[in-house]
Structure 1
Amino acid sequence: MPSAPPPDWVLARRRAIGDRIRAVRRERKLSQENLAELAGMDRQAINRIEQGHASPLLDNLIRIAEALDVPLADLVR
Structure 2
Amino acid sequence: MPSDQPDWVLRRRQVIGARIRTARERAALSQLQLGVLVGADHKTIHRIEHGTSDPRLGLLVQIASAVDVPLAELVQ
Q: TM-score range by the shorter chain?
A: over 0.9
Q: Deviations over 1:38-76 (max 9, x none)?
A: 111110110110010011100110110111111110110
Deviation at 1:35, TM superposition (A): 0.6
What is the number of equivalent residue pairs in this alignment? Answer: 74
Distance across 1 between alignment mates of 2:25 and 2:66: 13
Structure 2: unaligned runs, 5 residues or longer:
none
TM-score, with normalisation over the residues of structure 2? Answer: 0.92
CA RMSD of aligned residues (A): 1.0
Aligned match of 2:44: 45
Percent identity for Structure 1 against Structure 2: 51
Larger Rg: 1
Whether 2:18 is the aligned partner of 1:19: answer yes
Whether 2:73 is the aligned partner of 1:74: answer yes
Structure 1: unaligned runs, 5 residues or longer:
none
Extract structure 1 runs of 4+ deviating beyond 3 A: none
| Contact 1:39–1:66 under 8 Å retained in 2 | no
TM-score, with normalisation over the residues of structure 1? Answer: 0.91
Distance across 2 between alignment mates of 1:55 and 1:27: 23
Distance across 2 between alignment mates of 1:29 and 1:71: 17
Aligned match of 2:64: 65
